Structure 1
Amino acid sequence: MAKLIYVTNISLDGYIEDERGVFAWLPPDDEVFAFTTDLVRSVGTFLYGRRLYESMAVWETNTGLAAQSELMADFASAWKAANKVVYSTTLAAASTADTRLERQFDPAAIRQLKATASSDLTVGGANLATQAFKAGLVDECQLLIWPVVVGGGRPGLPTDMRADLELLDERRFRNGVLHLRYRTLGQ
């Protein structure tokens, strides 16, 4: 059975964006970017909320990004290779290939997808991830913690529930970013 993994960039104080909706602390160096590409390469399906999907779709819709460097081309190729499921009540149509649009999050459908998938799935977007956590679907949580305190904004983890975690792995990068990989307990 495939795992559902929540992967996100987060500030040291726990936010995925500041109070203005900005995540300007995120431009990765080559080491972090290559690591992130390796994470993406292992994913068979991305589950996205609309906002995150629209920001990630540029890896397919803006061919100039991949032309900027070999690292960016590698990431674009890995991203395009995966299936995408976008959860949105407002998006009229998907702008990328291999993308299915869903109007509501259905935990039973995700359980079925996990049971039949040959590769792991990731969930992206804090609101969607919270729904997946609450439904007991998240098997792993992988955080890229950036060395910045933003003081408020959109929390990267659920704020109205408890989730017990077991640390599986950690990695420090030269630029101060820390990757933590946790298994969820009691799922």
Structure 2
Amino acid sequence: MSQLVLMMSVSLDGYFEGPDGDLGWQLVDDELHEHFNRRLAAMSGFLDGRVTYQLMADYWPTADQDPAATPPMIEFSRIWRDMPKTVFSRTLHHAGWNTTIARAVEPQAIAALKGRSASDLAVGGAVLAAELRRLDLIDEYSLYVHPVVLGRGRPLFPPSDTRTDLVLAETHTFESGVTMLRYLRH
């Protein structure tokens, strides 16, 4: 059975987004982008919240046509376009690019999707991740800690009454100073 894998960039103080939605602090160079591409290309699908899906859909379908796109960006554009996607949204009425809309996070439906998937499924979006975590459905947490303290923004993990015990499975530090911490649910 496949696993649900949360892959998110965070600041040292735990924010996935800076003030006013700022993501410019993320140090995604070619090395890190190639790492993301290798991991994501091996997935069976992407599960995204509406905001994340719309951010991705606004850029990645045609990013490979951007003259400023780097080779890893061009590669990811193709990965994103071709990958089956499920977007969780109560308000979205149409989604292109090989995307299915789900109106709610239903544990039985997630289990069925995991059961029919040949490999892991990537989770994108903090709101979706919080709901999946609340339901204890995330199997792996791969956090990419960037060497910056933002001071404020949107925390990856909002306050919750749900405790999740994890086991450290892997660490890796990239040349940029970004450190991957890969945890498995205990």
Q: Give TM-score, length-normalised by structure 1.
A: 0.92
Q: What residue in structure 2 maps to residue 87 of structure 1? A: 88
> For residues 67 and 43 of structure 2, what CA distance do their matches in structure 1 show?
19
Cα deviation, residue 66, structure 1: 8.0
Cα deviation, residue 62, structure 1: 4.5
What do residues 109-163 of structure 1 show as CA deviations (whole Å, max 9, x unaligned)?
A: 0011111111110111111011111112111000111011111221112431221
Task: List gaps (5 residues or longer) in structure 1.
Answer: none
Q: Superposition pairs for residues 92-171 of structure 1, below 5 Å? A: 92-94=93-95, 96-160=96-160, 161-171=162-172
> For residues 68 and 170 of structure 2, what CA distance do their matches in structure 1 show?
33
Q: What residue in structure 2 maps to residue 21 of structure 1? A: 21
> For residues 184 and 140 of structure 2, what CA distance do their matches in structure 1 show?
4
- Relative to structure 1, the CA distance from residue 182 to residue 60 in structure 2 (aligned partners, 3 Å threshold; closer, same or farther) is same
Aligned residue pairs total 184
Please tell me the residue identity of whatever aligns with 2:142: Q
> For residues 125 and 22 of structure 1, what CA distance do their matches in structure 2 show?
15
Task: List gaps (5 residues or longer) in structure 2.
Answer: none
Q: How large is the RMSD of aligned CA atoms in angstroms?
A: 1.6
Identity of aligned residues (%): 38
Please tell me the residue identity of whatever aligns with 2:44: G
- Relative to structure 1, the CA distance from residue 52 to residue 149 in structure 2 (aligned partners, 3 Å threshold; closer, same or farther) is same
Q: Superposition pairs for residues 19-58 of structure 1, below 5 Å? A: 19-57=19-57, 58=59
> For residues 67 and 82 of structure 2, what CA distance do their matches in structure 1 show?
14
CA contact (8 A) 2:5 2:139 kept: yes
> For residues 28 and 2 of structure 2, what CA distance do their matches in structure 1 show?
28
1:100 aligned counterpart, secondary structure: strand
Q: Give TM-score, length-normalised by structure 2.
A: 0.92
What do residues 34-75 of structure 1 show as CA deviations (whole Å, max 9, x unaligned)?
A: 111111111111110111111111211455248723221111
> For residues 158 and 83 of structure 1, what CA distance do their matches in structure 2 show?
28
Please tell me the residue identity of whatever aligns with 1:179: M
- Relative to structure 1, the CA distance from residue 163 to residue 90 in structure 2 (aligned partners, 3 Å threshold; closer, same or farther) is same
> For residues 135 and 79 of structure 1, what CA distance do their matches in structure 2 show?
27
Q: What residue in structure 2 maps to residue 175 of structure 1? A: 176
